[in-house]
């Protein structure tokens, strides 16, 4: 950790020059309010010593410690126009030990431990497995009333799960572009304990074998609001889809279509979903700002 973790202090702005890349490193934003991170490529924040967790899942799993960016116990954090990737070291290329893939990466951008008022905008997440965990535990406690996060105009390209996975927080997800494919795909938005997700005008392009019913996952949550989202399934024309209805048609128990709140803290108009792919792909990611 001493060699790979960069601790970011409060009232700090990090702006990468063109081509700026952090390889094998973690930005830790812990107890640090008022932080901005822009225009950086985060590449391969690998854990050289993953831990075997025998009780994780039916047969155990390998788990890594380091996120590319971790936000904990902090407020007013803006993560904008960055790229998150595993580069030439994807988890899919790792060997298998104890019957499970030797996973050397954790999240791209995790928001946990009572952090709140976090915005991730115009970022590009490419070819990763676990992406964004909002809330680190199912235990009811200090996270209640916290973990309020906005995700807008991000590209999720070839990523497999936690896009995001949410516990407790009010999370506003709008105008994001999802390009999802591959045998390892698990779900897009995870509905966790006491979560209140509002997903509006996002666009999902789905590879073979993935349908609109696969986009949500019930992690012991009860409700999610989905409005104006479009889905382009392989072999079908793009269309507006009620994501909750699509999920409920194939899964039990049903999710409620009302998360109980409406977002008010947004900048600028919300794009119609059909305009999202072209607009967001042109603007999201590092090296798109005029620096």
Q: Is 162 a catalytic residue?
A: yes
pLDDT of residue 160: 94
pLDDT of residue 186: 95
Distance CA(198)–CA(195), nearest Å, equals 10
Both tokens of residue 260?
């109980």
pLDDT of residue 56: 87
pLDDT of residue 182: 83
Three-state SS for 85-126 is ECCCCCHHHCCEECCEECCCCCCCEEEECCCEEEEEECCEEE
Distance CA(28)–CA(251), nearest Å, equals 37
pLDDT of residue 174: 98
pLDDT of residue 17: 97
* Below-70 pLDDT ranges, the chain: none
Catalytic annotation, pick one of 38, 128, 162, 227 = 162
pLDDT of residue 90: 85
pLDDT of residue 268: 86
pLDDT of residue 267: 83
Instruction: Read off the pTM.
Output: 0.95
pLDDT of residue 291: 79
E strand or H helix at 277, and its extent?
A: helix 276-283
Side-chain half-sphere exposure of 86, counting CA atoms within 13 A: 23
Name the 3-class secondary structure at 15: strand
């Amino acid at each position: 950790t001493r060699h790979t973790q960069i601790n970011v202090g409060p009232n700090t702005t990090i702006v990468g020059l063109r081509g700026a890349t952090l390889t094998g490193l973690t930005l830790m934003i812990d107890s640090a309010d008022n932080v901005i991170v822009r225009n950086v490529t985060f590449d391969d924040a690998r854990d050289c010593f993953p831990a075997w967790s025998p009780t994780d899942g039916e047969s155990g799993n390998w788990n890594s410690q380091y996120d590319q960016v971790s936000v904990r116990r902090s407020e007013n954090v803006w993560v904008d126009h960055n790229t998150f990737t595993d580069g030439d070291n994807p988890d899919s290329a790792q060997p298998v030990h104890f019957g499970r893939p030797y996973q050397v990466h954790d999240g791209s951008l995790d928001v946990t431990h009572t952090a709140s008022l976090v915005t991730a905008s115009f970022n590009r997440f490419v070819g990763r497995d676990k992406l964004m965990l909002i809330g680190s535990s199912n235990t009811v406690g200090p996270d209640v009333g916290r973990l309020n996060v906005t995700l807008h105009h991000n590209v999720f390209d070839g990523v497999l799960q936690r896009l995001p996975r949410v516990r407790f927080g009010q999370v506003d997800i709008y105008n994001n572009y999802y390009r999802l494919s591959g045998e390892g795909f698990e779900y897009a938005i995870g509905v966790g304990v006491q979560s209140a997700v509002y997903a509006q005008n996002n666009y999902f392009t789905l590879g073979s074998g993935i349908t609109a019913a696969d986009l949500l996952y019930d992690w012991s949550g009860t409700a999610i609001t989905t409005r104006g989202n479009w889905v382009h399934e392989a072999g079908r024309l793009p269309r507006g889809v009620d994501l909750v209805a699509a999920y409920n048609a194939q899964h039990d128990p049903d999710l409620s279509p009302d998360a109980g709140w409406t977002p008010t803290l947004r900048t600028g108009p919300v794009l119609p979903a059909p305009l999202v792919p072209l607009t967001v792909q042109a603007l999201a990611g590092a090296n798109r700002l005029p620096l």
